[in-house]
Structure 1
Amino acid sequence: MNIGQAAKASGVSAKMIRYYEQTGLIPKADRRDSGYRDYSDADVHNLRFIRRARDMGFAVAEINDLLSLWRDRSRQSADVKKIAQSHIDELSARITALEQMRGTLQTLVTGCVGDARPDCPIIADLEEPAEDRGSVYKPDGVARLRHQSITKRRVT
């Protein structure tokens, strides 16, 4: 089947299939005499595996490791579990960071009167250099609230 048919059958776009070939995640497809790529049912099966792993948020490098383990019938399930557990840990950290960002933004939105005046704690917080900020989400996952600043702006 050609790349369009493989894309439709696997749920992976033709552009991503080309990318996966280019990065070595999947082997380059055989070519027909006409030069068009020719994919087998096994190739589509591999693409579906990749699609499912991407849907679960695994990075390309992790998918490569999972594919290697999938193909290795003498694998240990502990190796697969280690990759999945590491991914869960990363997802948990991202969820925590996102919840902290949401909390900070919610506090800033609550502190904003939302009237015709230009004073706005949201803008004030965004304009401060990161090292001076005490309320905004920081890349290390720490979010602190500047209660005094928000309260002061609400009162004025």
Structure 2
Amino acid sequence: MGDLTIGKAAQVAGVGVETIRFYERQGLIEQPSKGAGYRTYSPEVVARIRFIRQAQRIGFSLKETLELLALRAKPGADCAVLREQARHKIAEVDEKIAELLRVRAALEAVVASCPGRGGLEDCTILKALEDMPRGSAPCGCDEPMRKTR
């Protein structure tokens, strides 16, 4: 496969044209060469785009993906570094799951308190939200909801 136009590269990589342009602006892929007056992408760049996309799919941020790419290009780099980064990502995912479970419990608590009928002035959901101390949840779990990274 030779060099590809941006449209064909996007199709082969499974992304949109704007995604490729975004990756260029972010420095994740190099600026393309200009062949016959239009930009072309090498098969190596298309493979890099696929790598970036796959890293995003499994939860790595673009910054983390850039670190992975830098590590990948380093001869003699140790796989243990990548493994540790992946373990760290798993811990972040577990934290997000725990946060989502707290949110779900809070939502279930306010929904359970709602009779499901009547005027809004007596709405138990609105009252719970108004009366809730900052950072707490009406679910009985005293752990405050906090933002993850």
Shorter-chain TM-score: what band?
A: 0.7 to 0.9
- Residues 140/13 of structure 1: CA separation in 2 closer, same or farther (3 Å cut): closer
- Residues 120/90 of structure 1: CA separation in 2 closer, same or farther (3 Å cut): same
Percent of counterpart pairs with the same letter?
A: 32
Checking the alignment, whether the CA contact within 8 Å between 1:111 and 1:121 is kept in structure 2 is: yes
- Residues 130/10 of structure 1: CA separation in 2 closer, same or farther (3 Å cut): farther
Matches within 5 A, 1:1-156: 1-34=4-37, 36-118=38-120, 119-128=122-131, 130-131=133-134, 133-135=136-138, 138-139=145-146
- Residues 132/61 of structure 1: CA separation in 2 closer, same or farther (3 Å cut): closer
**CA apart distance, 1:25:** 1.1
Q: Distance in 1 between matches of 2:147 and 2:9?
A: 42
If the length of structure 1 is used for normalisation, what is the TM-score?
Answer: 0.81
Gapped runs of 5+ residues in structure 2?
none
Q: Distance in 2 between matches of 1:62 and 1:132?
A: 29
Instruction: Encode CA deviations 1:10-68: one digit per residue, 9 max, x unaligned.
Output: 0121111111111111111112241x210111111111101111111110010001111
Q: Which has the higher helix share?
A: 1
- Residues 69/126 of structure 1: CA separation in 2 closer, same or farther (3 Å cut): same
Checking the alignment, whether the CA contact within 8 Å between 1:6 and 1:39 is kept in structure 2 is: yes
Gapped runs of 5+ residues in structure 1?
142-156
**CA apart distance, 1:104:** 0.8
User: Aligned residue pairs: how many?
Assistant: 140
Checking the alignment, whether the CA contact within 8 Å between 1:31 and 1:38 is kept in structure 2 is: yes
